[in-house]
Amino acid sequence: MTPGNREQARIAACAAPSWDPVKSGDIFADYAALRSQCPVAHSGRFGGFWVLLRYQEVAQAAIRHKTFRSRQPFVELPDFTEMIPLCANPPEHSVYRRVLNKYFTQARMEELEPAIRAAVVEHLEPMIRRGGGELVADLARPVPNRALCALLNMPESAWAKFAAHREQMLALRDDYAAINALVTQLFDEQIEALIAARRAEPRDPGQDLVSGVLTMAGPDGEALPEQVVRAIIRLILAAGSGTTTSAMTGAFVRLSASPVDQDRLRREPQLIPSAVEEYLRLEPSLHALARTTAEPVNVSGVEIPGEQLVALNFASANRDPQEFENPEVCQVDRRHNRHLTFGAGIHKCLGAPLARLELRVFLEELLARTSHLAPAGPLSRVPGFPFEGGYPVLPVRLMANESHRSDDDSSRC
């Protein structure tokens, strides 16, 4: 067989519907094998989709929004097509992002930081006094939901409903049709209540996201239709909760695996933002987002027809040795960390500043108040090709540092 024929045979094999991500025993090992042997692959799962696995191809596809159009963002959830601006394309997309971006500025994050720090401390302190707890239920789920309430100027009590909804979704993890129906039902109930509250008592649209959406002009210059308003708020609620929960569990596991890193970050807290980026690189909450080809496209010698679902696999790209030196090694001081966890191009994650803020504050308070931290049992990562990654349950041990123990003792005297 000539080299050209061998290459054609390799490409044909990659296009065969042989890889089943749901049944993967080690999803990251699968990604590594596919990157080297079949970086543009096809799977028959979820009705059939293509997947890009190398950094260069993933980054380029994310930027080429005219060829790789946004329509169905998750290969697993075909009905998740009404979340704006994630599911929109220019010129509509540009109108929505231009308005929404102002609610995620550095100045707005600085306003939110005290509330987020207070929430982290409130949930972390009882865990430290007990010597540990269940990280997800005790902290990593409540805090992102409380951050959402602060962002949207919702009553503090509303976070408990978000958390309960997330529990119901996790119980349906493999039933994607049921997840879709549940999200639509539960989120829409809260969205309707939130919209009704703002219509009854409008707030300053310069400071309040929901009021801003209600007064936003659409691409045609007219007020947004009700379904578009709901789609925008649905995205904020759906994207801002479970993803950050997953990121917190991933960060904890990575940090707990290295007492050396724990000690270093306590001595050099200025490195915590860098550590956040490294944990995001290695433990992305969403492994992939999907695009739909607007026309036939050739990617690294593989012809992908038009109207095909293509997963941009950020989790695989983040471990590509052609982009990252020692990609499997966690380096909390890694420089030039251009990971793709938040995507790239016009669809780069709107809420990335809020997620980074929550993770930074979480690590700052966790490290400042402890002398040691570790899992309290076997680790169980979400299996297969996850809608959301991370660790759904994470029992942990936390040892208070000496100064914190002394403060706690004196407060009880």
Residue 413 is predicted with a pLDDT of 30
Residue 1 is predicted with a pLDDT of 46
Residue 238 is predicted with a pLDDT of 79
**CB-CB contact of 198 with 155 (8 Å):** no
Domain locations in the chain as residue ranges: 3-412
Residue 187 is predicted with a pLDDT of 65
Burial label, 240 (beta-carbon count in 10 A; 0-12, 13-18, 19+): buried
Question: Distance of CA 161 to CAs 38, 104, 166, 370, Å?
Answer: 43, 23, 9, 30
Q: Which residue numbers in the chain have pLDDT < 70?
A: 1-18, 159, 161-176, 179-180, 182-187, 382-388, 404-413
- Over residues 62-81, the pLDDT tens digits come to 999 999 999 999 888 887 78
Cα of 1 vs its chain's centroid, Å: 45
Exposure string of 333-370, with b = 16+ CB inside 10 Å and e = fewer, is: ebeeeebbbbbbebbebbbebbbbbbbbbbbbbbbebb
Cis peptide before 353 (omega within 30 of 0): no
Burial label, 113 (beta-carbon count in 10 A; 0-12, 13-18, 19+): middle
> Which tokens go with 330?
């966690």
Residue 410 is predicted with a pLDDT of 40
Is the domain covering 3-412 a CATH 1.10.630.10 domain?
A: yes
Q: β-strand 309-313 against 49-52: which pairing, if any?
A: parallel
Cis peptide before 85 (omega within 30 of 0): yes
- Over residues 172-200, the pLDDT tens digits come to 666 667 766 766 666 677 788 889 999 99
**CB-CB contact of 43 with 67 (8 Å):** no
CA distance 348 to 51: 19
Cβ count within 10 A of residue 86:
25
Q: What is the pTM of this model?
A: 0.91
